[in-house]
Amino acid sequence: MKKRILSLFFVLVFSFARADEGMWLVYLLGEQVYNDMVKRGLKLSKEQLYSINKVSIKDAIIIFNGGCTGEIVSPEGLIFTNHHCGYDAIASASSVEHNYLRDGFYAKSKTEEIPAKGMFVQFLVRIDDVTAQVDEALKGLTGMESATKLRAVSAEIVKKATDGTGYEARLVPMFKGNQHLLFVYERFRDIRLVGAPAESVGKFGGDTDNWEWPRHTGDFSVFRVYMSKEGKAAEYSADNVPLKPKYFLPVSIKGFNDGDYAMIYGYPGSTNRYETSFGVKLKTNVENPAIVNLRDIRLKLMFEEMRKDPAVRLRLASNYASVANYWKFFDGEAKQLLKFDTYGQKKKEEEKFNTWAKGKPEYENIFKQYEKIYQDWAPYTKHRIYLNEGIFGSPLIAFSASLGAMERALTKKPINADELQKVSESLDKARKTFLESSNHASDQKIVAATSHYFHRDIDPSQHPTGFYGIVSAYGDLNDEATYKKYAADLFSKTMLLDDTKWSAFLAKPDSTTLQKDMAYQYSSTFSKNYATKYASYATNFTLQNNDLGKAYLKGVIAMNPGKVMYPDANFTMRTSFGNVKSYHPRDAVFYDYVCTLSGVMEKYKPGDYEFDLPANLIEAYNKKDFGQYKDAKLNDIVVAFITTNDITGGNSGSPVLNAKGELIGLAFDGNYEALSHKIAFDKDLNRTICVDVRYVLWCIDKLGGAKNIIQELTLK
């Protein structure tokens, strides 16, 4: 079984050194790709990269809290990841009095480490190729039948692989479902915050510099993973001991040059390199502008309140940062796709495919069908985005939507008391979490703005029946003020924001009270409208798009015998290789491969919310107190550098390794000029932005005074 797949995808290859494109599954690294790595400078054996039986680099790489990458850097389970990956944990550990987010934090001994409630990390235990079993089960099925069957076999395979082991597993389709791999993980839940720089270092440059080079951000944070005394993964306990890892990464403080080999391990979240021209067009014309438009207004309204009050700022910081991050991404992505004419390039590839497919019944109609499914779905695309990013972009309304479970439990006949009890408890908990991280003033404005935008921008035939009739009682529907009055009324009346009314409701829940609640009415009007009239279009589109994607990829593989291919990113462990490398972003402009602490000082704006600096950094800089972290050539601290590696979101926190497998930095961003990278990798402009590990150590040592952390590392 494995062999068939191997011969299909990985063995017949051309022998030329490719560009830096590719997020390779280390587990299936073909000879050819490995040889390319060696040609580019790698000094390690294949076994050192990944081995089933022996300790290898892969044993030091972890999934950090379900969305980022981290790496083990000491024999006592010390973890390095990005500041923006630890952000939520740092913000949660902070208060206005002990503001670790603003001021930074370093534990000087293990007893000072702060348990990061709810956080977890996962180690990859093994990978099984289960393609044959899945193919057998799905034989002849398409659409919903295939999706349903896949869920069933997946559950079966996962169960068989993990029962009684304490492990967990995820079945992942590769090459759009032409291959299926099972990833088995061990999850550790006792994670503690060990160190973080002040936000003015860890997020230096803020959203202005986000997704851009040159970048002067110290985007790192330090955690530790604990295990039970018996050496098992365990919940938090004061008795737990630091994890003894199978492997940890040595750290190089020797530095590097332009052109040096660089390799990145990590968990890239998603790419869609075989997106069709139809998909690209919908993205650039409809999806991204809609998302950007809605995030724009939400950010503005949140910021208005954050500006007024440090407590609100802390409360909204994490949510604001994540909304802002992809607001800029989607904007840049659409711009770059248009600039590169990715649509035109896709069209050309598709014409080539269609020519090849002529007379092959399995493939010749794929693009006609694509055209049809996009035609059917396009009229509702914007509606769905305005729901997710608009109406439910309000934290209150998003929470309110979760009360749907309560309505279902209350309208069931007969009512199941156990179920009702469970739903009540979980909603009460969810409400606490919602209240802890929300701000009513900004939220109310968000409800006003997004209900207005929905009315203004979505085809009236798709508006929820009757809803805007209700709002018109507050005034003219084309007037912003009307929606403000409506939202004010909703916020003052809903029981969801009123502890007394909420407790009374939970003590004796009934469907009439729920259905009459203004916030619930609002959220359920919009979600029911979508669910009953439009969700089926989305489902049909997704199912058919999946089937077509699978067929298309199968065709692409058949059309290019021998071509070495990598599967799209899907949050499984990958490695990518390339070089440290300067570039020309546009005519007459040259971007160096490193930036320095002197450059941080050039950007410094006292009191600015993005470009301020901690006093001790300025002091250490003025004293040239660089210690062993100084770059000899530059006589400065190197803060960040760029490489040609192919990565994407999810890789945040990934180790950047030199040819010997030593840690030289942490990947934390992509560059603006190549923000179309999810769909098309640009071989000239794509860069990965990395914080230099020497800057990380300098901050820990000289600014944080945490020699205890430095002593745990193995410095080369």
Q: What residues make contact with ligand ARG under the rule CB under 6 A? A: 84, 203, 206-207, 210-211, 321, 324-325, 649, 652, 668-669
Identify the active-site residue in 59, 74, 84, 154: 84
Write out the DSSP string of 499-518: HHHHHHHHHS--HHHHHH-H
Question: Minimum distance from CB of 300 to ligand ARG (Å)?
Answer: 16
Read off the DSSP letter of residue 569. Answer: P
Identify the active-site residue in 277, 652, 654, 676: 652
Cβ closest to ligand ARG, residue 185 vs residue 668 = 668
Cβ closest to ligand ARG, residue 653 vs residue 661 = 653
d(CA 665, CA 694): 8
d(CA 593, CA 580): 7
Q: Which residues contact 294 (CB under 8 A, 6 or more apart)?
A: 385, 386, 389, 390, 393, 450, 453
Cβ closest to ligand ARG, residue 255 vs residue 268 = 268
Question: Minimum distance from CB of 397 to ligand ARG (Å)?
Answer: 24
d(CA 4, CA 689): 38
Helix 143-162 to helix 131-138 angle (10° resolution) is 140
Question: Minimum distance from CB of 183 to ligand ARG (Å)?
Answer: 22
Cβ closest to ligand ARG, residue 167 vs residue 223 = 223
Amino acid identity for residue 547 in this structure: D
Question: Minimum distance from CB of 402 to ligand ARG (Å)?
Answer: 27
Question: Minimum distance from CB of 14 to ligand ARG (Å)?
Answer: 33
Can you read off the two tokens belonging to residue 11? 């063995």
Cβ closest to ligand ARG, residue 320 vs residue 505 = 320
Cβ closest to ligand ARG, residue 77 vs residue 205 = 205
Can you read off the two tokens belonging to residue 212? 């851009």
Write down the residue that tokens 């020497």 correspond to.
694
Q: Which residues contact 650 (CB under 8 A, 6 or more apart)?
A: 67, 68, 69, 266, 267, 268, 269, 270, 569, 571
Question: Minimum distance from CB of 357 to ligand ARG (Å)?
Answer: 37
Question: Minimum distance from CB of 68 to ligand ARG (Å)?
Answer: 8
d(CA 656, CA 688): 10
Write down the residue that tokens 């602490």 correspond to.
597
d(CA 584, CA 592): 9
The b/e string for 122-149 (b: 16+ C-beta within 10 A; e otherwise) is: bbbbebbbbbebbbebbeeeeeeebbee
Cβ closest to ligand ARG, residue 203 vs residue 315 = 203
Identify the active-site residue in 129, 219, 631, 646: 219
Question: Minimum distance from CB of 423 to ligand ARG (Å)?
Answer: 35
For residue 688, the cross-strand partners are 643, 670
Helix 288-308 to helix 440-457 angle (10° resolution) is 150
d(CA 122, CA 120): 7
Cβ closest to ligand ARG, residue 647 vs residue 664 = 647
User: Using CA atoms in the order 555, 556, 562, 566, what is the torsion angle rounded to 10 degrees?
Assistant: -120
Cβ closest to ligand ARG, residue 86 vs residue 245 = 86
Cβ closest to ligand ARG, residue 329 vs residue 505 = 329
Cβ closest to ligand ARG, residue 317 vs residue 401 = 317
Q: Which residues contact 427 (CB under 8 A, 6 or more apart)?
A: 402, 403, 405, 406, 506
Cβ closest to ligand ARG, residue 22 vs residue 649 = 649
Question: Minimum distance from CB of 290 to ligand ARG (Å)?
Answer: 20
Question: Minimum distance from CB of 201 to ligand ARG (Å)?
Answer: 13
Given its phi and psi angles, is residue 658 left (phi above 0), alpha (psi -120 to 50 degrees) or beta?
Answer: beta
List Cβ<8 Å contacts ≥24 apart for 45-53: 48/661, 49/575, 50/26, 52/126
Instruction: Give the residue among 612, 630, 632, 608 at the shortest CA–CA distance from 621.
Output: 630
Instruction: Give the residue among 638, 614, 521, 478 at the shortest CA–CA distance from 204.
Output: 614
Instruction: Give the residue among 690, 707, 704 at the shortest CA–CA distance from 106.
Output: 704
d(CA 352, CA 87): 46
Cβ closest to ligand ARG, residue 268 vs residue 395 = 268
Can you read off the two tokens belonging to residue 543? 């199912």
* 652 assigned to active site: yes
Question: Minimum distance from CB of 82 to ligand ARG (Å)?
Answer: 7
- Secondary structure of residue 626 in the 3-state scheme: coil
Q: Which residues contact 115 (CB under 8 A, 6 or more apart)?
A: 190, 191, 192, 193, 236
Q: Which residues contact 209 (CB under 8 A, 6 or more apart)?
A: 215, 216, 217, 610
Which H or E element spans position 643?
strand 638-643
| Cα-to-chain-centroid distance, residue 403 | 27
Question: Minimum distance from CB of 322 to ligand ARG (Å)?
Answer: 7
524 within 8 A of 404, measured Cβ to Cβ: yes
571 within 8 A of 68, measured Cβ to Cβ: no
Q: How many CA atoms lie within 13 A of 13 on its CB side?
A: 19
Residues involved in catalysis: 84, 219, 652
